[in-house]
Amino acid sequence: MSTLIDEIARRRTFAIISHPDAGKTTLTEKLLLFGGAIHIAGAVKSNKIKKTATSDWMEIEKQRGISVATSVMGFNYGDYKINILDTPGHQDFAEDTYRTLTAVDSVIIVVDVAKGVEQQTRKLMEVCRMRNTPVIIFVNKLDREGRDAFDILDELEAELKISVRPLSWPIGIGAKFKGVYNIYENTLDLFTPDKQKVSERVEIDNVDDPAVDEAVGEKEAAQLREDLELIDGVYPEFDREAYLKGQVAPVFFGSALNTFGVKELLDCFVEIAPSPKPIEAVERRIDPAEEAFSGFVFKIHANMDPNHRSCIAFVKICSGKFERNAPYKHIRSGKVLRFAAPTAFMAQKKSIVDEAWPGDIVGIPDTGTFKIGDTLTAGEELHFKGLPSFSPEMFKYIENTDPMKSKQLEKGIQQLMDEGVAQLFTNQFNGRKIIGTVGQLQFEVIQYRLLHEYGAQCRWEPISLYKACWIESDDEDALAAFKRRKHQFMATDREGRDVFLADSNYVLQMAQNDFPKIRFHFSSEF
C-alpha cells in the first residue's frame, strides 16, 4: 500500500500560463508526449483533441483557435504523478486563469522569444507573487528569429519583477539555432527541426570538451563558453530554496513546436518543483499529510459532454485521501454527499477514479449543488479562502428574446454564472439583469452557449458603467443613506450583497469622498 506521504511527495501540480500565441498549448502537448499520455504530437493541437464526442462547446475554440476553458491533464512520468492545468491565455478569460492559480503548487510561464513579456503575462505574474508561487520560465520559439538571450533575461527581471537564473542556454537563434547547452545537467543537446522526434544529445564532460567544437562549430563553441562565463559572473548559483519561496525563476530555452528543450525543462521541473503544500483555510492551516480529506471547488465546467447536459465541478484535493462513494460534507449546505462517479482527466478523456491524493484534481458530476469556492471535508467545518471574483470591466443588460423560453434562459444564466464565466447583477431600481465580464469575447461565448446548450435566445442592450464595487459599512445609517442617494445605481450580486454601479471614475471618486464611512471593494473577497 502506498502511504499518504509517498503519494504527496510524488505529486507535481502546476499551471502553464502565458500570453496568447506564446505556445502554451504546444508545450502542454509535448509534456504529455514525454509522459506517454499521447503518442503523436498534434493530438492536442490548439485544444482540439480528435475526440469521439467533440463537444459543441469547443466549437468557439475551433473557430477562434484559442483556448477558452482551463483543461486538466494528469499523467505519470518516471516516479512522479504530474497534473497540468492548461489555462486560457486570452485576457477575456483571465478570471478562469486567476482561479486556476489557486489550485496549483507552481507555475511554468511561457514567453515568446520575439515578443518578450506581454501585458497579460505581467498580470498573471502579479497573482503568482501575491501567493509566492514558485515560477519557472520557458523561453519558446528559438527556431525563429528573436531577441538576444541576455536581453530577454533583463526584460524578464524588469517586467516580471523577479530574479532569474538560466539553467539552459541557447547556441545561436533563428536560422542559426544549433541547440541548447543544459547548465543544470552539463549536457549538450543538438537541434534538428522535427516535430515528432527528440533531438540528439552529445555526451560531454564539460563545456571545454572538444566535442562541443565538433558538434556546433568553433566560433559558436567559443561564444557559448564566453556566455556561460558571463552567466556565472552575473547570476548567483541556482538556489532551490529561493525558487520555492518564489524569489528566483529558473529559465529554460527551447522550441516547443520542435519538441526541443522540453525534456530538459521537464526533468529539472520534477526534481526541483514543490509537491503539494499546506493550505491556509479560514479556520486553520491544513497540511496535505493530514488523514482527513478536504478539498475545494475551483472551477465548474458546464456540458463537458453535450449528450448529457451535465456540469462538472473540479475539486482540488488539499489533504487526506479522497475515496469514491465515501461520505463527505458539503460545508455551505451542510449536506453529506457521496460521489459514485468521480473522474480524473486526460484532457477530454475521463476515467472513473477510486481514490485520489493531495494535489490531484477530481471532477465531480454537478447538478447545481456546487459553487466556485465550495469546500468538501470529511466532516470538519473548513472554508478555503482565496477564490476572488474581480470587479468586471464591461457590462450589458441581458434581455430574453423568446418569452416562451424564459425558464431555459434562467437556468442557462444560473449555470454559466456558477461556472464563473461572468457575473450577474440585478439592478435594484428597475429589476433588470446586468451581466459583467472581463472582456468582450465573453458576451459572445455566453450568447452562443445559451443558444446551443440551453435553447435560449438572448440579446444584449448597452449600459454605460465604469465599475461595479461591493460596498459595506459598520454604520448602518451611513449605508442606508448611501443606498437612498444612489438608489438608481444600486444592484445586488447573486449572494444578495450590495453592489454600487458607478458610471464613471469621477462618480466613483466623489462617492468615496462623500461617504467616508463606506468601504468600497473591487473584488468579492473581503
- The whole-number pLDDT of residue 196 equals 53
- The whole-number pLDDT of residue 40 equals 44
Report the SS3 class of residue 138: strand
Q: What is the pLDDT of residues 174-195, one digit of tens each?
A: 777 777 888 887 777 777 655 5
- The whole-number pLDDT of residue 134 equals 93
- The whole-number pLDDT of residue 433 equals 92
Look at the block and give the residue holding cell 549536457. 187
- The whole-number pLDDT of residue 135 equals 93
From CA 446, how far away is CA 452, in angstroms rounded? 10
- The whole-number pLDDT of residue 255 equals 86
From CA 181, how far away is CA 228, in angstroms rounded? 9
Q: How would residue 48 be classed by pLDDT, with cut points 50, 70 and 90?
A: very low
Question: 518 or 46, which is more confident?
Answer: 518
Domains and CATH numbers, the chain: 4-51+60-272 (3.40.50.300), 287-377 (3.40.50.300), 394-521 (3.30.70.3280)
Q: What is the pLDDT of residues 257-282, one digit of tens each?
A: 887 888 888 888 988 999 888 888 88
Percent of the chain whose predicted confidence (pLDDT) is above 70: 82
Helix pair 24-34, 262-272: axis angle to 10 deg: 80
Question: 327 or 45, which is more confident?
Answer: 327
Q: Are 409 and 454 in contact (CB under 8 A)?
A: yes
Torsions phi, psi for 353 (to 5 deg): -115, 145
- The whole-number pLDDT of residue 490 equals 92
Q: Are 420 and 372 in contact (CB under 8 A)?
A: yes
Q: How would residue 16 be classed by pLDDT, with cut points 50, 70 and 90?
A: confident
- The whole-number pLDDT of residue 310 equals 64
Q: How would residue 503 be classed by pLDDT, with cut points 50, 70 and 90?
A: confident
Helix pair 149-160, 119-130: axis angle to 10 deg: 60
Name residue 51's amino acid: K
- The whole-number pLDDT of residue 68 equals 43
Does the structure show a pLDDT above 70 at 124? yes
Stretch among 41-50, 97-106, 503-512 having the lowest mean pLDDT? 41-50
Does the structure show a pLDDT above 60 at 52? no
Torsions phi, psi for 297 (to 5 deg): -90, 120
Largest CA distance in the chain: 82
- The whole-number pLDDT of residue 303 equals 56
**Segment 463-472 mean pLDDT:** 88
42, burial (CB in 10 Å: exposed 0-12, middle 13-18, buried 19+) = middle
**Residue 24, C-alpha cell as written in the block:** 502554451
**Residue 114, C-alpha cell as written in the block:** 520575439
Q: Are 8 and 289 in contact (CB under 8 A)?
A: yes
Enumerate the β-bridge partners of residue 390: 523
Q: What is the pLDDT of residues 410-438, one digit of tens each?
A: 988 888 887 777 889 999 888 899 998 87
Question: 69 or 170, which is more confident?
Answer: 170
Question: 410 or 208, which is more confident?
Answer: 410
Q: What is the pLDDT of residues 382-415, one digit of tens each?
A: 887 655 566 777 899 999 988 888 899 998 888 8
Does the structure show a pLDDT above 80 at 38? no
From CA 144, how far away is CA 109, in angstroms rounded? 19
- The whole-number pLDDT of residue 96 equals 66
Q: Are 435 and 423 in contact (CB under 8 A)?
A: yes
From CA 502, how far away is CA 511, in angstroms rounded? 9
Q: What is the mean pLDDT of the chain?
A: 79
Global pTM exceeds 0.85: no
